[in-house]
Structure 1
């Protein structure tokens, strides 16, 4: 079946399809470059995805040369854990990240999402987003009770509010 990369296991201690991960990241980076070349500032670009798409979004958004407007990860995990920290860009800590994960996800277990989010805050030192913040800053980690490997209306409402913070309306000229 078509996918972003081959999943060998849902465990950080197993081998990963590094070649497939990096190839998919390259393809997304090419799309971002095309948008920037067309006149959209990189800080107005948000990459996001679900499951494997979340993995590629994290890898692209936090290791890429451009500081993006944000990264959205729904039901994903941090890939290439042993290399991710050394691959992270200098601006990774300042890229806002929205992470949503179902507490009952049987495919990407909540423990993997939790460990991944903790990796971002401890190893990459991403700040934790505060609810009182007017803009999207740091990691916004959101767990949805009863949600399996899917998205919910509540998660999508939270994501919409986050996008409005990450990409506020530009003042009219």
Structure 2
């Protein structure tokens, strides 16, 4: 199945796995590929990076977080749905100087058995406690990390979550 990086286990631990238990090489290659795509898009289109939001579900959300919080370009925001933060054992040393100022929308289902709610919460808490990203107050506000839980949602998307993403996007990307 296509993936951003290899998974060595489907039993994803809540505590950060030690070095060697995640596909760091594959993750770094994906970060470089996304950084190149973003850099080329900005150069070719002239679009202001503050109008670019990188997001995804599951591994796509993980790669959005990893890329957006480590590359030199400051993006307008990040979206992670049913996601986790890989490389937590070393992520703090990888972050860019602007990581704490990028708005993040994180949606997670309470019934997700692939990336558990507990793992999503632990990953978000890591970004707040270790990286210094402020918690959004209230949830859905256009700054900080906004973590929203969706009752009975499994490892997939649902309309109410997408409507919350749309409302959040309208707050962080100016009309002009």
1:13 corresponds in structure 2 to 17
Task: Select 1:140's aligned residue among 146, 154, 172.
Answer: 146
SS at match of 1:23: helix
| Distance (Å, rounded) in 1 between the aligned partners of 2:71 and 2:157 | 27
**What RMSD over aligned residues (CA atoms) do the two structures have, in Å?**
1.3
> CA shift at 1:79, angstroms?
1.0
Count of residue pairs the alignment pairs up: 169
Structure 2: give runs of 5+ residues left out of the alignment. none
The runs of 4+ residues in structure 1 deviating greater than 4 Å are none
| Distance (Å, rounded) in 2 between the aligned partners of 1:19 and 1:132 | 34
| Distance (Å, rounded) in 2 between the aligned partners of 1:158 and 1:132 | 10
**Contact map agreement 2:139 2:147 (CA 8 A) in 1:** no
1:80 corresponds in structure 2 to 87
Residue 166 in structure 1 maps to residue 169 in structure 2: no
Residue 57 in structure 1 maps to residue 64 in structure 2: yes
SS at match of 2:131: coil
1:145-156 aligned at under 5 Å gives the runs: 145-156=151-162
Q: Which moved more, 1:12-21 or 1:42-51?
A: 12-21
Structure 1: give runs of 5+ residues left out of the alignment. none
**Contact map agreement 2:139 2:148 (CA 8 A) in 1:** no
Q: Deviation per CA, 1:31-62, whole angstroms, max 9, x where unpaired?
A: 11112102011111110010000110000000
Q: Deviation per CA, 1:130-158, whole angstroms, max 9, x where unpaired?
A: 2388x610001000010000111110010
| Distance (Å, rounded) in 2 between the aligned partners of 1:139 and 1:16 | 25
> CA shift at 1:165, angstroms?
0.9
| Distance (Å, rounded) in 1 between the aligned partners of 2:105 and 2:144 | 8
| Distance (Å, rounded) in 2 between the aligned partners of 1:127 and 1:137 | 8
| Distance (Å, rounded) in 2 between the aligned partners of 1:146 and 1:67 | 34
1:39 corresponds in structure 2 to 46
SS at match of 2:47: coil
